Amino acid sequence: MRAFIFPGQGSQKVGMGAELAAASEAARDVFGEVDEALKQKLSVLMREGPEEELTLTENAQAAIMANAIATVRVLERDFGVSVFEAANCVAGHSLGEYTALASIGAFSLADAARLLKLRGQAMQAAVPVGEGTMAVLLGADIDQARALAAAAAQGEVCEVANDNDPSQVVLSGHTAAIERAVALTKEHGIKRGMILNVSAPFHSSLMAPAAERMAEALSQTPPAALALPLYANVTAAPVTDAEEERALLVEQVTGRVRWRESVLAMRAGGVEHFVELGGKVVGPMVGRIDREAQVTSLVTMQDLEAFAKQVLG
């Protein structure tokens, strides 16, 4: 069995998608459709920068999705391999869950772009700049991270935001609490803690105002039927019901990204091959979660051609 997986924020970089756009009309069509949906030349920003503008949450989320869906469309139109033929299920890391839904037709490309633009704006607006942040813990498992978060909170928010793999957990919350957590890492047997260069405390309870805005938006633009099972971030379990997934997307804004558990659940469900489209971020995490899993990253035309030959024989 094979899972198609999609990256989250942090995988953006200037020049993303440029090679695909130069080589494929399918990719150019995707970027043009996203530009039109957003009434913004996002494709130019992706290709030329500046980096600081591309990194803004409201731009990065839609850009990462657009790049991954362009990869999907090139695989389908140029190499004759559809998601439905090649994958048994899909999953995405944080915003990548929207990409996964778009890849199986549960969201149109335009709707996914507009929802992610709003999601980025809502998350940024939820907490005043400087009041919240995130930190990555290296050499920490989930139990160590939870204990550290509890010790550092001291009446403020300090929560596990991302359980990425057995050696990497991300905390989110009030800036002072996150700084205390980083200072306490050694006492909790954790190798290292680093404050992340992010503009808000994503996937924490501080994002409640953003969750309310997304609940309203998703009530107006709900996902359609899911043609393949999707492993949801907040439950690490397969979802096939569109209404259930709508609720989980709202919960995801404040909830933990259970990526490690999701990969283990997919493995338990029979997935042997994980294919990351549009990045090389979540694939390496899979390799750290289960060394026996086969992992492929599809970024370039050469990557896509080689994968198509493998699938089509």
By annotation, the residues acting in catalysis are 94, 203
Task: Report the C-alpha gap between 138 and 168 in whole angstroms.
Answer: 5
Count of C-beta atoms within a 10 Å radius of residue 258: 22
Locate 277 and state its tokens. 């489209």
Locate 120 and state its tokens. 């980025």
- Give the H/E segment covering residue 169: strand 168-174
Q: Which residue has the tokens 């991300």?
A: 170
Sheet holding 294-298, edge to edge: 238-239, 230-231, 89-92, 2-6, 273-277, 294-298
Locate 157 and state its tokens. 């928010």
Contact 170, 161 (CB under 8 A): yes
Locate 139 and state its tokens. 């050499």
N-to-C CA span, the chain: 16
